[in-house]
Amino acid sequence: MGEDGLAESALPVGADGSRQDGTAERAVSAAPGSRQPLGRRFAQLWSAFALASTGDGFAYGAVPLLAVAVDPRPLAVSAVIAADRIPWLLVALPAGSFADRFDRGRVMAAASAARAVLFGVVALLLVTHTIDLALLIIAVLANASGRAVYYSAVQAAVPEIVESGALDRANGRLTGTEAAAEHLGGPIVGAFAFAASRAVPFVMDAAAMAASVFPFTRVRSAAERPVAAVSAPLLAGVRRLFADRRLRLLLGLLAGLAGLQGLVSGILVLVATKDWGVHTSAYGLFVAAGAAGNLPGALLADRFVRRVGSVPVLLVAGALAGLGYLLMAASHSWLPAGASFALTGFAVGVGSVVAITLRQRLAPPEMMGRIGAAWRGIVWGAAPAGSLVAGGLALLGGLRLPLLVAGGAQIVLALVLAVPLVRLLGSRGAGTGPPPQPAVM
């Protein structure tokens, strides 16, 4: 479900926001969800992010259809879907290091430029009819690697340009934009364009990525990161992650949810087009149903947090997404399946914003990229494993079996971890008990 979580400092924070070891730590300047202005620098980041997300949306609608056209076997399709997540296992730590060592706006710009070239190459392969399953998987792997670098820099930049009290709203704005562009409008256009000509959505994606390059170069952060912390080893983020037992428990929850979500995404295009009667050209519309729920979920997350607290909202969102998967498995046409998918999307939107904000609020800014990348490497790395398992389950028990397994297991996971999470983290996510031991740098 969500992709991020909470990071905890190992040492006390002073009144000026500095830790006792001399490195910088961002103090929580306002209550979570308070209405602070997002500012001009966030607007610059948002405009570039919207362009890149639109480009990703075109591919999000077209790549699964291209996978079915190249090789319709369940294992082949699930392998293509898994390739979109595998790079988080391979390049997560270097991606986070780039985000900490170099100017984050330029890192985003370079990643977008590289991905623009890549999609241009894919379009050329389609025009010349030379693409096959192996080349498609390689292209998806390469794009996902570039996106890992880009996304690490985006998430690391947000806490530097937005006040802590406005993080829920800023993350909700970005997540909502991602839902609208990457999972709602983009897939619809991409799927229709693919039906007209397979190369067109990839040309459009390349153009959108290229257009985002200049705005990303304009993104500047105000924070100065200590040289010692910035030059710390790649594994420093991993050590910091596992220094806190509360963080380990939260990480386990989100990794489990991500793996179960992978069960669904690995066979979604097949069950939609074969069991629910979704026409190939309308697959983007079906995908948009999930985004139609994701968008309001992301925008309303900060209100839920202010009223209930971060941890209860995250747990309810996980269980609600599981219920949506079960309803999808019971559906026999696109209409109830789409409505259930929208319910799941709403829960994922809420949970993603809450999880991202918990991590950003307490992670030290000089290590924000590495902590976030290590987190996503584990959480998003669970998704391709789920996607590959989905292909095997579909062969054994039919296309609906992965949906049933994912829904039931997700509800059970949220219920089992509810008590220990609330006990260790508290309803607001601050947690109680002894602080974690400092990580060795």
Higher pLDDT, 337 or 1: 337
The structural architecture, per CATH, of the domain 40-220+229-425 is Up-down Bundle (1.20)
pLDDT over 70 (residue 280): yes
Confidence class for position 292, pLDDT limits 50, 70, 90: confident
Cα separation, 92 vs 121, whole angstroms: 24
Is the Cβ–Cβ distance between 171 and 356 less than 8 Å? yes
Cα separation, 364 vs 304, whole angstroms: 26
Q: Would you state the torsion angle of the CA atoms of residues 333, 334, 338, 340, taken in this order, to the nearest 10 degrees?
A: 10
Lowest mean pLDDT among 85-94, 208-217, 388-397: 85-94
DSSP calls for 231-262: TS-TTHHHHHHTT-HHHHHHHHHHHHHHHHHH
The model's pLDDT over 376-402, given as tens digits with 9 standing for 90+, comes to 778 877 887 888 888 889 888 989 999
pLDDT over 50 (residue 15): no
Structure tokens at 185: 């409008």
Residues 165-178, mean pLDDT to the nearest whole number: 84
pLDDT over 60 (residue 18): no
The model's pLDDT over 126-158, given as tens digits with 9 standing for 90+, comes to 999 999 999 999 999 999 999 988 888 888 888
pLDDT over 70 (residue 224): no
Lowest mean pLDDT among 75-89, 223-237, 280-294, 412-426: 223-237
Task: Calculate what percentage of the chain has a pLDDT beyond 70.
Answer: 82
Higher pLDDT, 305 or 233: 305
Lowest mean pLDDT among 338-342, 395-399, 432-436: 432-436
State residue 221's pLDDT score: 60
Residues 118-128, mean pLDDT to the nearest whole number: 95
Cα separation, 303 vs 388, whole angstroms: 36
For 338, phi then psi, to 5°, come to -65, -40
Look-up: residue for tokens 């609906």? Answer: 400
Cα separation, 428 vs 314, whole angstroms: 11
Look-up: residue for tokens 């959108």? Answer: 208
Is the Cβ–Cβ distance between 371 and 240 less than 8 Å? yes
Cα separation, 420 vs 6, whole angstroms: 15
Task: Calculate what percentage of the chain has a pLDDT beyond 90.
Answer: 32
Higher pLDDT, 303 or 245: 303
Higher pLDDT, 102 or 7: 102
Question: How confident is the prediction for the chain on average, in pLDDT?
Answer: 80
Cα separation, 269 vs 68, whole angstroms: 8
The model's pLDDT over 184-205, given as tens digits with 9 standing for 90+, comes to 788 888 888 998 899 999 999 9
Cα separation, 94 vs 302, whole angstroms: 31
